[in-house]
Amino acid sequence: MPDDAMEPAPQAPAPVRHHETVVTGPMEHDITDGGPDMVQFVDGDGNRLPTSPANEAYAKIVEDLTPEDGRSMYRDLVLVRRIDAEGHALQRQGELGLWPSLLGQEAAQVGAGRAMRRQDYAFPGYREHGVAWCRDVPPENLLGMFRGVNHGGWDSNANNFHLYTIVIGNQMLHATGYAMGIQRDGDVGTGDPDRDAAVMAFTGDGGTAQGDFNEALVFAGVANAPLVFFVQNNQWAISEPNYKQFRIPPYQRARGFGFPGVRVDGNDVLAVYAVTKAALDAARAGQGPTLIEAFTYRMGAHTTSDDPTKYRIAAEVDIWREKDPITRMRGFLASKGYADEAFFDAVDKEADELAARIRKACQEMPNPPKPAMFDNVYVDPHPVVEREKAEFIAYQASFEGGK
């Protein structure tokens, strides 16, 4: 009998388990590492990274950018951070009721926003102040809803930037329907760069759990709609980390819906710009949707009402501070000789002026006249609203000296 007959019969391999299946055990998870698929062009110190399998498809787009483009992106990053800081400060001073900070996500939003063309349309959540800036939406417009004088109120069609949407995920379907409208208008795949249009739908890692998000992926896939889903994975849905939200990262989910998904370093503005531009170009050309996951980090609280020290450790924040998008872009521009101290100082000065402008606009923002709350409930007159408005006005007037 040959020796090998004495070998024990081979056992079936144990099923591969990537993480604990017990209910309470978190899976292995490094939230500071986006993995080998992540598209990246500039490292945390501002060094241009070499071509890699992940980034080579986008390298040409980055190479085509001029030093002026780089400076302009840097300026956007700084100004957007300053808008955000001012919103936060105004909340602390009692001028705003709430502010959702984008701190740490500037590159994700500026890279995405700048990749859009005039005729493209953005459907934001409520943290997309940086996208708004890139769409030329005056930052003052964003304050009204957080001050409580309106629920948004800006004209979305003025800048192709839809109203903020607070119910997580609702807007993904609106974006999909809008993109279906673009298809019906014939504004896809004509080859005319001023005509072909696409839509960007913004949400966060938390939003990927919503039914509406997943339904939007179904509808967009089926319609082959000109649409880019842009998920800012900032690692935290208020207090819930990624591992409580999904078992595969969002970019891998796209394949299951029939279109590509890409993970990009959300703190690398050049990489975000390049990946988004490629996806938008494909969408406008009639090649259908893409899901982009911008791997980033929410440096601040969920909103001014939140206290992240209750659920996350400072060491994690420190690691991400090393990946700061502005420091990184500044290092890149400086090391390449694309910008000097005078330029950086001028941008800082511009940011101070912008902040002062926003602060003043906020402080001077009047309360609308009270009867205005009855306006625009319906397009055509509605007898109940009309009657109650009249009753309200009469009631208010019944107080001596008015109420």
Partner 1 sequence: MTAQKLSLAKGLNAGLRKAMEHDPKVVLMGEDVGKLGGVFRITEGLQKDFGEDRVIDTPLAESGIVGTAIGLALRGYRPVVEIQFDGFIYPAFDQIISQVSKMHARSLGHLRLPLVIRVPFGGGIGAVEHHSESNEAYFAHTAGLRVVTCADPADAYWMIQQAVASDDPVLFYEPKRRYHERAEVELDEDAGAPLPLNSARVARAGDDLTVLTYGPMVKTCLDAAGAAQGEGKSLEVIDLRSLSPLDTETIFTSVRKTGRCVVVHEAPTFLAMGAELAAQVQRECFYSLEAPVLRVGGYNIPYPPSRFEEDFLPDLDRILDSVDQALAF
Query: Catalytic: 184?
Result: no
State the DSSP code for 352: H
Determine the Cα–Cα distance for residues 34 and 52; give it in Å rounded to an integer: 15
Query: 11 vs 157, which CB is nearer to partner 1?
Result: 157
Q: Which residue has the tokens 């919503």?
A: 210
Query: Catalytic: 127?
Result: no
Which position among 82, 88, 284, 302 bears the catalytic label? 302
3-state secondary structure of 237: strand
Q: For residue 182, give the nearest of 125, 134, 228, 232 by alpha carbon.
A: 228
Query: 154 vs 259, which CB is nearer to partner 1?
Result: 154
Which position among 127, 298, 328, 330 bears the catalytic label? 298
Q: Which residue has the tokens 């009402």?
A: 305
Query: 160 vs 290, which CB is nearer to partner 1?
Result: 160
User: Least distance from C-beta 338 to partner 1, angstroms?
Assistant: 40
The answer to whether 116 and 200 have CB atoms below 8 angstroms apart is: yes
Query: Catalytic: 135?
Result: no
User: Least distance from C-beta 210 to partner 1, angstroms?
Assistant: 9
Determine the Cα–Cα distance for residues 53 and 214; give it in Å rounded to an integer: 29
3-state secondary structure of 148: coil
Query: 128 vs 268, which CB is nearer to partner 1?
Result: 128
Q: What are phi and psi of 395, to 5 degrees?
A: -65, -45
Determine the Cα–Cα distance for residues 241 and 198; give it in Å rounded to an integer: 31
Query: 317 vs 385, which CB is nearer to partner 1?
Result: 385
Query: 86 vs 120, which CB is nearer to partner 1?
Result: 120
Determine the Cα–Cα distance for residues 84 and 81; give it in Å rounded to an integer: 5
Query: 167 vs 356, which CB is nearer to partner 1?
Result: 167
Locate 386 and state its tokens. Answer: 């009309």
- Write the CB contacts of 92 (distance below 8 Å, at least 6 apart in sequence): 304
User: Least distance from C-beta 330 to partner 1, angstroms?
Assistant: 38
What burial class does residue 205 get, using C-beta atoms within 10 Å of its C-beta: 0-12 exposed, 13-18 middle, 19+ buried?
Answer: buried
- Write the CB contacts of 307 (distance below 8 Å, at least 6 apart in sequence): 301
Q: Which residues bind partner 1 (CB under 8 A)?
A: 123, 150-157, 162-163, 165, 167, 170, 172-185, 211-212, 215-216, 218-219, 222, 375-380, 382-385
User: Least distance from C-beta 149 to partner 1, angstroms?
Assistant: 10
Which strand (E) or helix (H) includes residue 233? strand 227-233
Query: What DSSP line would sit under 51-70, residue for residue?
Result: P-TTTGGGHHHHHT--HHHH
Q: What are phi and psi of 339, to 5 degrees?
A: -150, 150
In one letter, which amino acid is 247?
R
Which position among 92, 255, 311, 378 bears the catalytic label? 311
Catalytic residues: 298, 302, 311
